[in-house]
Structure formats: C-alpha cells, structure tokens
Amino acid sequence: MSLISASVFLILVVMVEESYEATLPGCHLHPFNVTIRSDQKGTCRGTQVIHACVGYCESSAFPSKYSVLVASGFKHNITSASQCCTISKMEKVTVQLHCGGSRREEIEIGTAAVCQCDMCRLSRY
C-alpha cells in the first residue's frame, strides 16, 4: 500500500467514525469549526475546532402523587423528570488571529471537554 493510499484510507476511516458517532444515542461531544473576527471587517481573523454537547437524554412522565395533587389544587396531575445534554467540564483554547502581514493576536475561548445528562436548567440555554 503506498503512502498516498494509506493516508486517503485513514481520512475515510476518520470520516466514517465521526458520522457513526453522531448517530449513537445519548449525549456526546461534537466538533465544529468556528471563525472568530476582531470586528465586522474581519481585520483579525482565525478559525478553531471547538466542541459542543449534542444528543439527547432520557426523560419520563408519570401520574403525580396524591400529595402533589393536593398541593397543586388538583391541577398538577402529571409529574415529569427531564434531563438535558449539558457541558459538565469546559476547557479554554487559544485561537490565533491573523491580522494581515505578520501581525497576530490571540484570544481564549471556551470549548466543551465533557458532556453528561443533567437536570435541565433554563439558565444554561
């Protein structure tokens, strides 16, 4: 096997593996490219692969206990327990911004490092 065909094979394996991982059930890290510009004109610009948490988590609904019914004036007859795919650990990555010529700047941004199913909280979204 030549060096060129070996590298093409490796690229294909990585692509198949990424698409397979995206179809797995649950909550996973998912890479994507971001482009960062210093201003609307794009005076300084850089790209970086960062990660987000994507997927789904188990949720359920069941009849409320009698005490819940009484406390809600018999209006809360279904209780639900939901979990959302959230970031449980973040990391900082440094993005190199190219500003034209040999001038460069750096900026730190956050990326997901670990994902997990956790209680859904409005403040996270």
Instruction: Confirm whether pTM is higher than 0.85.
Output: no
Say what the pLDDT of residue 100 is. 83
pLDDT tens sequence across 68-111 = 999 999 998 998 888 999 999 999 999 999 988 888 889 999 99
Say what the pLDDT of residue 24 is. 63
Diameter of the chain by CA atoms?
A: 75
Say what the pLDDT of residue 121 is. 76
pLDDT at 17 over 60: no
Q: How many CA atoms lie within 13 A of 97 on its CB side?
A: 15
pLDDT tens sequence across 29-74 = 999 999 988 877 778 899 999 999 999 998 889 999 999 999 999 9
Say what the pLDDT of residue 90 is. 96
Give dist(CA 61, CA 34) in Å, integer. Answer: 37
